[in-house]
Structure 1
C-alpha cells in the first residue's frame, strides 16, 4: 500500500508540474480546452463509479460509452450552431424562429445552471465532511447552505472576478489528482488481473429502468457547451476545436476510469451514497480518499462559482436588466437551498439532467432550423430533428438513482 501511495503521489505531482508550466498554462488551445474539459469530468467523476457499477455491473463501461456518445452528438449540434455564427442567428439571418429558439434555450440554460449549482454544492458538502466525524446528511446540508450564502454574499458585494482567478489552479489540481487516481487504479487492476481475481458483477437494473436511469445521468457528462460562451476570448474555429478535444479527452478518461473499477470491486465493497467512491478508493490506496476530497472541494466550489456567475449574467442579459445579476444570485440561492433541504443528491442530479436535456434539445432544434435555412440536405435536418426528439425523451423520462 505504501508503494501504491508513493506511485500515486508521484504521478499527481508530475502532472501538476506539467500543467503549471507557463508553456502549457498559456497555450491558447489548451486554455480553451480546459474550461469545457473541467466541467465535463468534474462532478461526474465523483459519482459515476459507484452508480454505474451498482446499477449496471460488468456492463458499466458500455453505459459510459453510450453517455459519452450521446453527449458528443449534442455537442455536434452546438458546434454546428457556432459554425453558423451566433451573430447571424441574433441578426435574423436564419429567420425569427431561430431567434426565438436561441432566446428560449438561453433561458433554459440559466435555470439549468441554478440546478447544477445546487448539485455541485451538495456534493461539496458531502465530500467536505466525509472524512470527519460530522458526516451526517444533516451536517452536509448545513454546510451546503452556508456555502450558498457565502457565494451569494461574495457575488452581491464584490462580484466573482477575484474567485474566477482560481479557476485554472483548481482545474489543474483536479486533473492532476485524476491522473494520480488512474495510475493507482491501473496498478490495482493489474495486481488483481495477475491474481486472476477480476470480477464481472451482475446488473441490478434492466430494461426500461436501465434506459431511464441512463437518461437521468446526462448531467454527469455535461459541460462541453461552455465552449460556445467563450466568444469574447476565442474565435469560432478555436471554440469548436476546444469542445471536440474536450469531449474526446473526457471520453477517454471516463472509459479508462470505469473500465478499471468495474471488474475489481465486489458488490459489498460498493456504497450507493454520494461519497461511495471514497470507500472504494480506500481499498486501492490510503492516500486516494484524501486526494479525492481535495479534488471535490476545489472543483465543486470553482464550478459553482462559474455557473452562478454565468446564470446571473444570463438572467440580466435576457431580462434586459430588469433582473439584475444580484437579484439572480439571490434567486439561485433560494432555489438551491430549497432543493438542498427537499431532495437528495441523486434527485438533484436527475433534475439537472432534465434541465440540460431541455437546453440541448432546443440547441438541436436550432440546428434543425439553421440546416433547413441553409438547405444542408434532408439527412442533416432529419438528424438534428431526431436529436431534439431524443432530448425531449430524456427530459421527460430521465430518472434518479433509487
Structure 2
C-alpha cells in the first residue's frame, strides 16, 4: 500500500503532471498497459511456462517495431512540402476504416473484462452475470454517448491513468517481495510450456492487442507537434515494456502450473497469495481503466466513422452500431476469443500503416533500406491477421 501511495504522490506532482512530454505520453501509455496487463500474465505463465518472459519480450519488440512504423509516418507527414500519392491516400483511408473496426472490437474486449472483474469478488462470480453486467454497461455507454457525448468521460482518463500506474507499482512491489521470498526459500518453479512450435507462435500473434495503444499518438496532432508525439510514443513504449517485462519475470517463476485456473480474472486469485489488499486494488483499477478506455475507443470509433462517411453515419449511429456488434460478441464469444479478434483487427491496421511507410521510404532515396524493414512488418501484420489464435481458458 505504501508503494501505491508513494507512486500516486509522485504522479500527481504538478511539475510532472503538467509537463507536455509526460502529458503526451500518458495517452499511449494508458492504452498500452490498459486491460492487457491484467489478463496477459496468467495467459503467458500458463501457455509458455518458463519461456513466458521471452515471449513477453517478443511481444514488446513487435509492438516497438510497429510503433517505429507509426513514428516514421508521423515524421513523413511533418516534413515541409511532403505529399502522398494516390496509393498512400487510399491505404490511409483503408487503415482508418480498419482502425474504426478495431476500436469496435477493443470496446468489446474492455467491457467484457469490466464485466468479469466487476463480479469477481461477489457471490455471483460466473460467466452469465459477467455478461449481464457487460450488457448493462453497453447500454450505459450508448445512452451516455447518444445524450451527452464522451468528453466528460474522457476527462476521467487523466485521473484513472495515474491511479492505475500507482496500483501497478503496488502490484510489482508486492510481487517483487514475494519473488525474493521464494528465492530465499529455494522455492522458485520452472513450469513447462503447454504450447510450442507453430501453435505457440499463433497464440503470440493473437496477443498483440495487449501491447497495442501506441498508435494513439498518431492522432494527437491537434495538441502536440510531430517531435513531441514521436518522443512521447517512444517513451510510453519504453515504460510499458519495462513494466510488462518486470511483471512477467516476477510472475512466471512463483506459481506452479495448475495452481490456478486460467480465466480472465485469474490474476485476482494469484494476487490473494501475494498480498490480501491487492485483489481489491486490482478490481478498482480494472473497473476505472476499462470503463474510461471503452469510452475513449467508442468516441474514437464514432468520430472516425462519421469522418470517413462524411457524416452520412453520425457518431450517434456509430455508437449504436458499436453496441450491437459488441453485444453480439459478448454473447457469442469468450474473452480469450475477443482478445484474438482484437489482435487481428489491429494487426490489419498496422499492416496497412506499414505499407504506407514502405511506399514513403521507397520514394526517399535516403530511406530505401527502411522500405525493406517496413515491407517485412507489413507481411508480419498480415500473418497476425490470418493466423492469430486465442488462448484456451478454463470453462
Normalising by structure 1, what TM-score? 0.96
Match for residue 19 of structure 1 among 11, 17, 36: 11
Aligned length: 392
Cα distance, 1:14 vs. partner? 1.0
Q: 1:220 to 1:168 in 2, by over 3 A?
A: same
Match of 2:2 in 1: 10
Indicate if the aligned counterparts of 2:347 and 2:381 stay in contact, CA closer than 8 A.
yes
Match of 1:300 in 2: 290
Match for residue 394 of structure 1 among 374, 384, 390: 384
Indicate if the aligned counterparts of 2:49 and 2:191 stay in contact, CA closer than 8 A.
yes
Match of 2:214 in 1: 224
Alignment of 1:314-353 (within 5 A): 314-353=304-343
Match of 2:249 in 1: 259
Alignment of 1:73-222 (within 5 A): 73-85=65-77, 93-222=83-212
1:64 equivalenced with 2:56 (yes/no): yes
Deviations 1:251-279 (A, max 9, x none): 00000000001100011323210000111
What is the distance in 1 between the residues matched to 2:277 and 2:6? 16
1:375 equivalenced with 2:371 (yes/no): no
Indicate if the aligned counterparts of 2:78 and 2:226 stay in contact, CA closer than 8 A.
no
Deviations 1:297-321 (A, max 9, x none): 0100010000000001000111111
Indicate if the aligned counterparts of 1:271 and 1:277 stay in contact, CA closer than 8 A.
no
Deviations 1:218-256 (A, max 9, x none): 000000000111111100000000110000000000000
Cα distance, 1:86 vs. partner? 6.4
Indicate if the aligned counterparts of 1:358 and 1:391 stay in contact, CA closer than 8 A.
yes
Indicate if the aligned counterparts of 2:302 and 2:318 stay in contact, CA closer than 8 A.
yes
Indicate if the aligned counterparts of 1:199 and 1:264 stay in contact, CA closer than 8 A.
yes
What is the distance in 2 between the residues matched to 1:87 and 1:343? 45
What is the distance in 2 between the residues matched to 1:92 and 1:343? 44
Normalising by structure 2, what TM-score? 0.98
Match of 1:6 in 2: none
Match for residue 52 of structure 1 among 37, 44, 53: 44
What is the distance in 2 between the residues matched to 1:46 and 1:344? 16
Q: Which moved more, 1:205-214 or 1:263-272?
A: 263-272
Cα distance, 1:288 vs. partner? 0.7
Match of 1:35 in 2: 27
Cα distance, 1:87 vs. partner? 9.2
Indicate if the aligned counterparts of 2:95 and 2:352 stay in contact, CA closer than 8 A.
yes
Deviations 1:57-82 (A, max 9, x none): 00000000000000100000000000
What is the distance in 2 between the residues matched to 1:231 and 1:203? 43
Q: Residue 198 of structure 1: SS of its match in structure 2?
A: coil
What is the distance in 1 between the residues matched to 2:157 and 2:13? 16
Cα distance, 1:392 vs. partner? 0.3
What is the distance in 2 between the residues matched to 1:333 and 1:382? 40
Cα distance, 1:161 vs. partner? 1.1
Cα distance, 1:377 vs. partner? 4.3
Indicate if the aligned counterparts of 2:77 and 2:83 stay in contact, CA closer than 8 A.
no
What is the distance in 2 between the residues matched to 1:35 and 1:399? 28
Unaligned runs of 5+ in 1: 1-8
Q: 1:203 to 1:118 in 2, by over 3 A?
A: same
Runs of 4+ in 1 over 6 A off after TM superposition: none
What is the distance in 1 between the residues matched to 2:200 and 2:332? 25
Match of 2:238 in 1: 248
